[in-house]
Structure 1
Amino acid sequence: MTPSRNVEDLKTSESATPLIIRLIQNHYTAAPPIKDQEQISREEWVFPGLRFNRYMCMPSAFIIQFCCGSLYSWSVFNKPIDNLIYGSIVNMAPITFYIAVGLLGFSAAIMGPWLEREGPRKASILGGFLFCAGNLITALALYLKQMWLIYLGYGVIAGYGIGICYISPVSALQKWFPDHRGLASGIAVSGFGAGAIVSAKLEVALIQHTGLPTTFLIMGLGYFVLIFISGLVLRTPPPGFSPASLNDTSLDSEMHQVEMGKTVEDDESAEKSNSKKLDDDDDKKEWTLLEALVSTDFRLMYVMFFSNILFGLVAISRLSNMITDIFGKSAEHASTVVAINGGFNLSGRIFFSLLSDYVGRKNAYVLMLTCQLIILASFYFITTGGSTTYWLFLMCMWIIASCYGGGFGSIPAFLTDKFGQYNIGACHGVILTAWSLAGIVGGIVFTSVFKATSEDRDISDPFPYNVNVWWMLGIVMVGWTALLFVKPTERDRKVYKMLGRFFPKK
């Protein structure tokens, strides 16, 4: 076949592909931008007089995630919004949270490739603007007493902005800290847990002193200022970056290479070489984004991630009810336990992500899912033991919260190790749709089963909770099984070899 015939066949094939499919393929195959020497020199400074170093990205990422974490405190608005608009509790305000969670995962999946092309600074500022706009629209909606406008403002617009802000700092940190990816991602997403704790107290105080509309006005503007300033610090490393060349403190060696006349193309070759050394991928393959997203490992990891967060998400939303209904504790006691639970959620994001730096990403998830399987399998005995097993119930819930947070803290590093640092933004965004799926579908299924099994039963009867546990146990078992088939990374194999020395084959 002649070359001209090959070109004609290619054109015919492209023309036969629907336009929407070609647009999607182009969106998810674009290469990251190439930095020129002028841009590298400019990014050496945060502003005149303040030299950039990679550790500045950590507090910036924490602050951005802290602002996004206010989403988890939405429940403090439910009753005040219902009372303001309808004059009674009609449970319409909680729908806003589910819309926002759904849009969070959707926007992260859609905007991931754009983030990798344009960089974390533009992405975080865009996300902060949408988040602020959503809060301001919500303030207007409350003034006009229009619930549909709240759904649009906070649910759709703010939720979309949160998704962009969530993945932007994580993507930057994975590129700057190939030597401590787990720790870097854990510190970043721990801000989300901290924001959920602090913002709830702040929002309640603002509602009492300024009213609902003004609360959203103040919070929206405040979040934008924090995200904008933090976003200015974020950037991606120069070509050829490696922690050893920086001596962990500055960009001097990279700048010196450029000044000595090294071309951008040479730097790109060096970067690919460093990437192969640092990414810890099992076969050292250079993945394209589309290859990563359709790979068997990614699909298995999606199932694993979904199952790891499902029970934790449901438990967090129902913890206060279980404490007061099943164990007969006061509402004040329950609120204290919920606050402590938030602390375990936060600490789990750091602990398991840091642990994965030493024992491997896959091994860390094996530990998290195994803990959940044990707790789910014994949940019936824990909830039917009355006050004698209450301490055990608390311990189990705090372990679940830690595993839930640990899943979010470890997944960015796991994805980067498997598919490369330039695919992390999109891969992380797509896998976060499992969060949306778990929040919406898991919440609907749990509520439906709970209502169907709680009819004609006393409120203290744990049976409706225990029935729900059985189907969640099945899903976690599926996720645990899927994880076993994910190819281990280099860190995982090192642990296997070490265990093999302690338990040699006969």
Structure 2
Amino acid sequence: MTSFLDRERTVAPAGYNRWLVPPAALCIHLSIGEAYAFSVFNLPLTRLIGLGKPAASDWSLTDIGWIFSVAIVFLGLSAAFGGAWLDRVGPRKAMTLAALCFGGGFMVAALGVSMHSLLIVFLGYGVLGGIGLGIGYISPVRTLMTWFPDRPGMATGLAIMGFGGGAMIAAPLSVLLMHHYATATSLGIVPTFVTLGVIYTVFMLFGALIVRVPAAGWAPAGYVASTSSQKLVTSQSVTAAQAMNTPQFFLIWFVLFLNVTAGIGVISQASPMIQEMFQGHVTAVTAAGFVGFLSLFNMGGRFFWASLSDRLGRKPTYFVFFGLGIILYILVPHTALLGSVSITALCFGVILSMYGGGFATLPAYLRDIFGLRHVGAIHGRTLTAWSAAGVMGPVLVDYIRQYQLNHGVPKADAYTVTLYVMAGLLLIGGVCNAMISPVDARHHEAIASPAE
């Protein structure tokens, strides 16, 4: 069984169609993308005892918000420590581990809910599931970049767009399952978690089964290694350890951290946020549809913006993210004040498209600056910014909201200050992006990276 998981068993035969590889990546990312739909469980988890309404012994929404944050923390940590291991063992072994951890995380979380132990839920979905998220997230990225050296932005968009689109499936499916399993004494969360755990484990294992890597020295027909004149694109390579000694690594880290912080707070509370901003007009079912709507933009943006970056360049693409994002975050409170659910949803959709686009463009940005050879390990370490943002974003949304409510601000207006703060974070991110320059030659490896 172990040999079947080895990298050597995944090498594609001569003449293999590289377009058969993206479906394997989508099997993984569409599954772990469920994380973006977890907010549909937030309000039900605050009513486990009270059922119709929260009871004194029920968990608070602020406490529930930490489940998502813990998962994102362990996503970043597992990606950071697992990147070099993934480059060594190959995608099949990594995808299998990701499937077992992510599916197992649901099972442990179900146990926690049944025991009404928030700590066990944290350990299940947050820690174990978060490890599955991190390993699963990075496992297809470098593989697709080696299959598509001629279009690295598009390749990473293909690899990562499923993560943004997973919520489009998971949100309505989760609501449907909770309604199906609900009884007079239960909201149906425990069997829903178990069902999702089984479904995602099987689906992810199928992706691990069909993934392939190119043979050594393979290149697409007619491909010539890039001699791009773009200032930031290098033909050299930088090791992961050496990359962390460069200012470019930390500037990109902050670019990702600030872009993610601004978007992930919205994602973590998307369902309750839209219900509270438009009280009496948006139901729980409609809010689940809103989460799916955001997922569609998140997914589409990953492919659209990453592919566009092959033409615009990575740095100009990030300038678009920050500039347009600032405008939209400032605009949203005004569209909500006008009572326009559709325009508000559209603004959030475009914001989430650029949030997802930032993730999808990042590996190609790292490849441009540090070379392809060690991009898997460097990408994993950069994703620790996601861990930090996974705490910062939801905390900003949750605690500023609570502070506003405690001081008499209506629920419909409780997110206004937070949205303005997010716009400020994007402004700082734009400054960091402007400071990124080519890596000094003293950080390069002695031998140039091969065209893999």
Name the TM-score, length of structure 2 as normaliser. 0.82
Q: Is the 8 A contact 2:234 2:370 kept in 1?
A: no
Structure 1 pair 436–335 and aligned structure 2 pair: CA distance change class (3 A): same
Which is helix-richer, 1 or 2? Answer: 1
Matched residues in 1 for 2:265 and 2:9: separation? 48
**Residue 133 of structure 1, CA deviation:** 2.2
Q: CA RMSD in A?
A: 3.2
Q: Does residue 1:100 correspond to 2:93, yes or no?
A: no
Tell me the alpha carbon deviations over residues 420-474 of structure 1, each in whole angstroms, 9 at most, x when there is no partner. Answer: 2232222222222222212212322333333334444341663x43333443333
Structure 1 pair 398–41 and aligned structure 2 pair: CA distance change class (3 A): closer
- Answer with 413-422 or 375-384: which moved more: 375-384
* 2:264 equivalent in structure 1: 313
Matches within 5 A, 1:288-437: 288-320=239-271, 323-326=274-277, 330-332=281-283, 334-378=287-331, 381-382=334-335, 384=337, 386-387=338-339, 392-437=343-388
* 1:166 equivalent in structure 2: 137
Structure 1 pair 433–278 and aligned structure 2 pair: CA distance change class (3 A): farther
Matched residues in 1 for 2:307 and 2:99: separation? 28
* 1:231 equivalent in structure 2: 208
Structure 1 pair 158–314 and aligned structure 2 pair: CA distance change class (3 A): closer
Structure 1 pair 127–205 and aligned structure 2 pair: CA distance change class (3 A): same
Q: Does residue 1:287 correspond to 2:251, yes or no?
A: no
2:415 match: secondary structure: helix
* 2:28 equivalent in structure 1: 64
Q: Which amino acid aligns with 2:199?
A: G
Decide which of 471, 477, 493 is 2:427's aligned counterpart.
477
Larger RCO: Structure 1 or Structure 2 (Cα < 8 Å, ≥ 6 residues apart)? 2
Decide which of 36, 40, 44 is 2:12's aligned counterpart.
44
Matched residues in 2 for 1:78 and 1:321: separation? 8
* 1:139 equivalent in structure 2: 110
Structure 1 pair 480–127 and aligned structure 2 pair: CA distance change class (3 A): same
**Residue 484 of structure 1, CA deviation:** 1.1
* 2:196 equivalent in structure 1: 219
Structure 1 pair 438–470 and aligned structure 2 pair: CA distance change class (3 A): same
**Residue 113 of structure 1, CA deviation:** 0.8
Q: Which amino acid aligns with 1:77?
A: F
Q: Which amino acid aligns with 1:176?
A: W
**Residue 352 of structure 1, CA deviation:** 0.4
Matched residues in 1 for 2:78 and 2:235: separation? 30
Matched residues in 2 for 1:223 and 1:278: separation? 43
Q: Is the 8 A contact 1:346 1:402 kept in 2?
A: yes
Matched residues in 2 for 1:53 and 1:118: separation? 23
Gaps of 5+ in 2: 1-5, 182-187, 440-452
Matched residues in 2 for 1:472 and 1:94: separation? 18
Tell me the alpha carbon deviations over residues 36-66 of structure 1, each in whole angstroms, 9 at most, x when there is no partner. Answer: xx98797235xxxx97432221011011101
* 2:185 equivalent in structure 1: none
The count of residues paired between Structure 1 and Structure 2 equals 419
Q: Which amino acid aligns with 2:431?
A: T
Structure 1 pair 191–477 and aligned structure 2 pair: CA distance change class (3 A): same
Matched residues in 2 for 1:222 and 1:431: separation? 30
* 1:193 equivalent in structure 2: 164
* 1:34 equivalent in structure 2: none
Tell me the alpha carbon deviations over residues 297-339 of structure 1, each in whole angstroms, 9 at most, x when there is no partner. Answer: 1211111112222222223345555545455561235554443
Matches within 5 A, 1:454-493: 454-459=405-410, 462=413, 464-487=414-437
* 1:153 equivalent in structure 2: 124
2:320 match: secondary structure: helix
Tell me the alpha carbon deviations over residues 325-362 of structure 1, each in whole angstroms, 9 at most, x when there is no partner. Answer: 45556123555444323222221111101111111111
Decide which of 109, 112, 124 is 2:80's aligned counterpart.
109
Q: Is the 8 A contact 2:234 2:368 kept in 1?
A: no
**Structure number, greater radius of gyration:** 1
Q: Does residue 1:90 correspond to 2:49, yes or no?
A: no
**Residue 281 of structure 1, CA deviation:** 5.4
2:237 match: secondary structure: coil
1:285 match: secondary structure: coil
Matched residues in 2 for 1:483 and 1:449: separation? 27
Q: Is the 8 A contact 1:138 1:153 kept in 2?
A: yes
Q: Is the 8 A contact 2:152 2:364 kept in 1?
A: yes
1:422 match: secondary structure: coil
Q: Is the 8 A contact 2:277 2:411 kept in 1?
A: yes
Matched residues in 2 for 1:325 and 1:120: separation? 42
**Residue 93 of structure 1, CA deviation:** 4.1
* 2:3 equivalent in structure 1: none
1:291 match: secondary structure: helix
1:421 match: secondary structure: coil
Q: Is the 8 A contact 2:321 2:354 kept in 1?
A: yes
Decide which of 37, 40, 60 is 1:73's aligned counterpart.
37
Matched residues in 2 for 1:450 and 1:363: separation? 34
Q: Is the 8 A contact 1:279 1:416 kept in 2?
A: no
Matched residues in 1 for 2:161 and 2:9: separation? 32
Q: Is the 8 A contact 1:103 1:155 kept in 2?
A: yes
